[in-house]
């Protein structure tokens, strides 16, 4: 008897065990495990050993069946596939295609529009409907929702601010507010949300995910204080703005032989202050992470003035607290005799057209978010780590602030250039 051996995969479960079917005289005689299969390694369960029995069982279905009011109707494969496709189209027309919402929340940051643009265009290309949610989480609660089409996000990549606007929501911080926002999503057929913003935005995204509306977070804040990512949208542009303005202050400081204390944003984190102090050649960066030895600093300033130095730039972080920079100006004048002025740059740092880097970063982040949506991999926060775009669980990122490490490369570089940091 001539026996033919056919290597195949067991169809019973998702393990995918390898087996060989032995066929003779037009019938499968037995099934045996494939010895070199990496899944089952020559073993089979009782169903695998007897798989040939159901293949040849007289009650096995041999044609597609359609359940009708008159009972089961036999169909050919072409008719069965046409029916399935028609039903899928009917469901799509009745309930709509997959739909996501995109919002910006918290403080605005240059580059948010570029991220909205990337998410919208790529999602639409993948057959996903995009709904723009205006005014952040409060707008979601209030139902400020409109469809976004590719044309709607044209010519926004160079615009500062956010076309979706932003707002802070006390109502969303309550359980009732989150539940209401989730209900609005369901009423509008929104299956998930891309939330662009800082730490507060991420915490809101976690709450919304827990309420049954899965979210993806894109880090957008000039403060660069989001855990797990090296860079956030808007950070580069904000630094460029600070550098441009401080360069102008240096001109007038040189003319009047003054010290300019420049207070920058950053919340509790000192990234903006530290990095811009290097870029402008400041005498010090005052940040919470590294306490400053002011007596030593004042000594250096007085000595430099005696040697002919006319202007001094000191960068302080807003996280030092209310009134800190004003008091520092008074102390400098008392201790050194150098006329000192305060420049609080405030919200001008959030404005302006995004830099080339922020446009690129925002686009990369938006594309990655859309790819996560296509893979239905929600609950993630997009990140840049070692110049590679990646993602981390939102629940592990939200609520964690990234501070400047004491041994950061920027800290070492600043000290090497004579910028006082803790000394």
Residue 252 to residues 91, 304, 311, 314: CA-CA distances in angstroms?
A: 68, 18, 9, 15
Topology annotation, domain 235-351+407-416: Rossmann fold (3.40.50)
Question: Band of the pLDDT at 89, cuts 50, 70, 90?
Answer: confident
Mean per-residue pLDDT, 245-267: 96
Residue 209 to residues 191, 250, 311: CA-CA distances in angstroms?
A: 11, 48, 52
Identical topology for domains 4-55 and 235-351+407-416: no
* DSSP secondary structure string for all residues of 80-98: HHHHHHHHHHHHHHHH-S-
Helix pair angle (199-210, 175-187), 10° resolution: 70
Dihedrals φ, ψ of 7, to 5°?
Answer: -80, 135
Helix pair angle (235-256, 271-280), 10° resolution: 50
Q: Which CATH number fits domain 99-234+354-385: 3.10.50.40, 3.40.50.1220, 3.65.10.10, 3.40.50.450?
A: 3.40.50.450
Q: Which of 403, 110, 107, 423 is nearest to 271 (CA)?
A: 403
Query: Which of 24-28, 143-147, 333-337 has the least mean pLDDT?
Result: 24-28
Q: Which of 98, 223, 236, 358 is catalytic?
A: 223
Q: Is the pLDDT of residue 307 over 70?
A: yes
Asked whether the CA dihedral 342, 409, 203, 108 is positive or negative, the reply is positive
Using DSSP, state whether 383 is helix, strand or coil.
strand
CB 105 within 8 A of CB 112: no
Mean per-residue pLDDT, 378-407: 94
> Which tokens go with 319?
């996280």
Residue 194: its pLDDT value, please? Answer: 97
Residues contacting 134, CB < 8 A, separation 6+? 103, 144, 145, 146, 164, 165
Residue 28: its pLDDT value, please? Answer: 86
CB 369 within 8 A of CB 216: yes
> pLDDT tens digit string along 92-132?
666 555 899 999 999 999 999 999 999 999 999 988 999 99
Give the pairing of strands 71-74 and 65-68.
Answer: antiparallel
CB 421 within 8 A of CB 290: yes
Is 236 marked active-site?
no
Neighbours of 106 (CB within 10 A): 22
Neighbours of 87 (CB within 10 A): 10
When mean pLDDT is compared over 1-5, 49-53, 132-136, the highest value belongs to: 132-136
> Which tokens go with 194?
């891309």
Q: Residue ranges of the domains in the chain?
A: 4-55, 99-234+354-385, 235-351+407-416
Question: Band of the pLDDT at 420, cuts 50, 70, 90?
Answer: confident
Residue 25: its pLDDT value, please? Answer: 84
Asked whether the CA dihedral 145, 147, 148, 152 is positive or negative, the reply is negative
Question: Band of the pLDDT at 39, cuts 50, 70, 90?
Answer: confident
Query: Which of 82-86, 153-157, 172-176 has the least mean pLDDT?
Result: 82-86
Q: What is the reported pTM?
A: 0.78
Residue 423: its pLDDT value, please? Answer: 67
What's the burial of 88, exposed, middle or buried (CB within 10 Å: 0-12/13-18/19+)? exposed
Neighbours of 234 (CB within 10 A): 29
Give the span between the Cα atoms of 148 and 155, in whole angstroms. 14
Give the span between the Cα atoms of 398 and 106, in whole angstroms. 14
> pLDDT tens digit string along 172-204?
999 999 999 999 999 999 999 999 999 999 999
Query: Which of 44-48, 284-288, 331-335 has the least mean pLDDT?
Result: 44-48
Residue 84: its pLDDT value, please? Answer: 84
Q: Which of 216, 218, 208 is nearest to 186 (CA)?
A: 208
More confident call, 338 vs 11: 338
Q: Is the pLDDT of residue 71 over 90?
A: no
Residue 419: its pLDDT value, please? Answer: 87
Angle at 243 between CA 237 and CA 245, to 5 degrees: 105
> Which tokens go with 41?
């390694």
Average pLDDT, the chain: 92
Residue 29: its pLDDT value, please? Answer: 87
Question: Band of the pLDDT at 350, cuts 50, 70, 90?
Answer: very high
Topology annotation, domain 4-55: N-terminal domain of TfIIb (2.20.25)
Mean per-residue pLDDT, 365-383: 94
Dihedrals φ, ψ of 313, to 5°?
Answer: -115, 125
Give the span between the Cα atoms of 226 and 132, in whole angstroms. 24
Residue 180: its pLDDT value, please? Answer: 97
Helix pair angle (294-306, 324-336), 10° resolution: 50
């Amino acid at each position: 008897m001539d026996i033919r051996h056919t290597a195949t995969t067991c169809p019973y479960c998702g393990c995918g065990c390898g087996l060989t079917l032995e066929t003779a005289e037009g019938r499968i005689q037995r099934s045996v495990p494939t010895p070199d299969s990496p899944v089952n390694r020559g073993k089979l369960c009782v169903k695998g050993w007897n798989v040939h029995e159901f293949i040849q069982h007289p009650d096995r279905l041999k044609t597609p069946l359609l359940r009708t009011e008159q009972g089961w109707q036999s169909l050919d494969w072409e008719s069965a596939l046409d029916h399935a496709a028609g039903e899928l189209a009917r469901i799509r027309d009745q309930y709509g295609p997959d739909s996501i919402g995109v919002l910006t929340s918290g403080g605005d940051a240059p580059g948010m529009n570029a991220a909205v643009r990337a998410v919208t265009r790529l999602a639409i290309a993948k057959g996903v409907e995009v709904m723009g949610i205006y005014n952040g989480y409060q707008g979601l609660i209030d139902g400020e929702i409109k469809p976004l089409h590719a044309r709607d996000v044209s010519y926004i990549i160079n615009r500062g601010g956010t076309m979706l606007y932003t707002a802070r929501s006390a109502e969303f911080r309550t359980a009732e507010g989150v539940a209401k926002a989730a209900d609005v999503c369901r009423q509008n057929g929104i299956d998930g949300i891309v939330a662009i913003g800082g730490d507060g935005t991420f915490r809101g995204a976690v709450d919304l995910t827990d309420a049954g509306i899965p979210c993806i977070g894109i880090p957008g804040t000039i403060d660069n204080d989001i855990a797990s990512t090296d860079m956030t949208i808007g950070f580069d542009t904000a630094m460029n703005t600070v550098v441009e303005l401080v360069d102008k202050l240096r001109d007038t400081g040189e003319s009047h032989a003054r010290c300019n204390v420049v207070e920058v944003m950053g919340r509790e984190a000192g990234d903006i202050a530290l990095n811009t102090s290097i870029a402008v050649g400041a005498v010090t960066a005052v940040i919470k992470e590294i306490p400053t030895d002011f007596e030593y600093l004042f000594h250096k300033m007085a000595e430099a003035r005696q040697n002919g130095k006319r202007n001094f730039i000191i960068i302080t972080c807003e996280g030092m607290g209310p009134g800190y920079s004003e008091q520092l100006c008074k102390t400098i004048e008392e201790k050194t005799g150098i006329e000192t002025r305060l420049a609080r740059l405030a919200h001008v740092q959030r404005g302006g057209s995004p830099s080339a880097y922020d446009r690129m970063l925002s686009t990369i982040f938006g594309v990655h978010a859309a790819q996560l949506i296509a893979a239905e991999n929600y609950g993630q926060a997009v990140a840049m780590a070692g110049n590679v775009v990646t993602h981390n669980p939102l629940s592990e990122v939200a609520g964690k602030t990234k501070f400047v490490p004491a041994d950061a490369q920027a800290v070492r570089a600043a000290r090497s250039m004579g910028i006082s940091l803790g000394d």
